[in-house]
Amino acid sequence: MNAQTRTEMRELSYAEAIREAMDIALASDDRVILMGEDIGVYGGAFQVTGDLVEKYGTDRVMDTPISELGGAGVAVGAALTGLKPIFEFQFSDFAALAMEQIVNQAAKVRYMLGGSVSVPLVMRFPAGSGTGAAAQHSQSIEAWLGHVPGLKVVQPSTPEDVKGMLLAALEDPDPVMIFEHKILYKMKGHVPEGHYTTPIGKAAIRRAGKDLTIVATSLMVHKALAAAETLGPEGIDVEVIDLRTIRPMDRETVLASVRKTGRLICVYEGVKTLGVGAEISAMVAESDAFDFLDAPIVRLGGAECPIPYNPELEKAVVPQVPDILDAARNLAEGRI
């Protein structure tokens, strides 16, 4: 086996891929620091930072007190003045405590100051349901931040992408919010070695198909791919698009697919109403791709409730593979 094939074969978990990206950044750029709760000796609530503190010390891998508003604001101030902080929220839900600094400060300061400053800040948000942690530890709040001009919001779905997008975020002069689904942390996949970037604002076609387009985000990409495998032999050839970035959204990739297939399902875990799917649907409805639609657009999103604790209820309130299968069959067979 030559070196090249070995590299191609290399697999890391999603969490390991994030850690590798942070390791590369810390090693190559003195301005990079990590901040967050219990990211030092504890290794992070989801063991993402792991042992980085041993390598870089507590001056660069900083445990903050339990102070989300203050901590996030310190990261904003540091980013404004020469550092490149990577700020970890222990759970994305706790960003609610820091909305002031994210929304009123980080997102707007460049604009408010007429473009004279920038905020090269990266924030990481462990997100989503499926861990039995109930209403305050399971939300998918990416659409909240996606609503704010000034922020870039990404939802990488693979180990390769999360590493590449984190490194791209570090090169970006503006604040980038990275939503990491907790269920993905242990998922393994191929990850190239060394430094590379994955573009922010560009969707990926994970499976080409001609009958139906599914635009999915984060964990839902994997559910959509599983559904597509079942639907193929039934004669429904599904194209699965991994949106990857919700702000700015990759309009061209989505519209081109819809022009080809004429059918669209949006699958996302956040609450359905006023969510990512609404934006994708509107984007299609406002474009020429609308004329190519053979059926109404279908949105599969989270139920209109907080995430419940009971495991069966918890599964029931976010889209699952059978929900995608039902929607796809109904669309393909003209029942919608």
Ligand X SMILES: Cc1ncc(C[n+]2csc(CCOP(=O)(O)OP(=O)(O)O)c2C)c(N)n1
Our CB check for ligand X shows the closer of 46 and 268 to be 46
The C-alpha atoms of residue 111 and residue 142 are separated, in whole angstroms, by 22
C-beta of 231 vs 325, nearer to another protein: 325
Q: What is the DSSP string of 225-257?
A: HHHHHHHGGGT--EEEEE--EEES--HHHHHHH
- The structure tokens listed for 257 are 């697919």
Place of tokens 């006023």: 274
Is 222 catalytic? The answer is no
Give the list of residues 6+ apart from residue 234 with CB closer than 8 angstroms, or none.
329
Question: Is 201 an interacting residue with respect to another protein (CB under 8 A)?
Answer: no
37 binds ligand X (CB under 6 A): yes
Q: Are strands 264-271 and 298-302 parallel, antiparallel or unpaired?
A: parallel
Stretch 136-195 residues interacting with another protein (CB under 8 A)? 136-137
Select from 60, 70, 97, 131 the one that contacts ligand X (CB under 6 A): 97
Alpha carbon 61 to chain centroid, angstroms: 23
Interstrand relation of 176-181 and 212-216 (parallel, antiparallel or unpaired): unpaired
Cβ 68 to ligand X shortest distance, Å = 6
Q: How far is the CB of 45 from ligand X (least distance, A)?
A: 7
Among residues 12, 13, 19, 37, which is the contact residue for another protein, using CB under 8 A? 37
**Footprint (CB under 6 A) of ligand X, residues 67-86:** 68
Tell me whether residue 28 or residue 273 sits nearer to another protein (CB atom).
Answer: 273
Residue 187 touching ligand X (CB under 6 A): no
Torsion of CA 59, 62, 66, 71, to 10 degrees: 90
Residues pairing with 123 in the sheet: 87, 177
* 66 in contact with ligand X (CB under 6 A): yes
Choose the binding region for ligand X from 47-55, 90-98, 274-282, 302-310 (rule: CB under 6 A). 90-98
- Smallest separation (angstroms) from ligand X to the CB of 328: 38
Exactly one of 68, 142, 180, 314 is catalytic; name it: 68
Nearer to another protein, 66 or 282 (CB): 66
SS (H, E, C) 261-297: HCCEEEEEEEECCCCHHHHHHHHHHCCHHHHHCCCCC
- Is 286 catalytic? The answer is no
Element (H, E) at 332: helix 321-332
Q: Does 64 bind ligand X (CB under 6 A)?
A: no
Q: Which residues are catalytic?
A: 68, 137
Question: Where on the chain is the footprint of another protein (CB under 8 A)?
Answer: 37-38, 40-43, 45, 63, 65-70, 93-94, 97, 131-137, 303-306, 308-313, 316-317
Which residues sit at the interface with ligand X, rule CB under 6 A? Answer: 37, 66, 68, 90, 94, 97
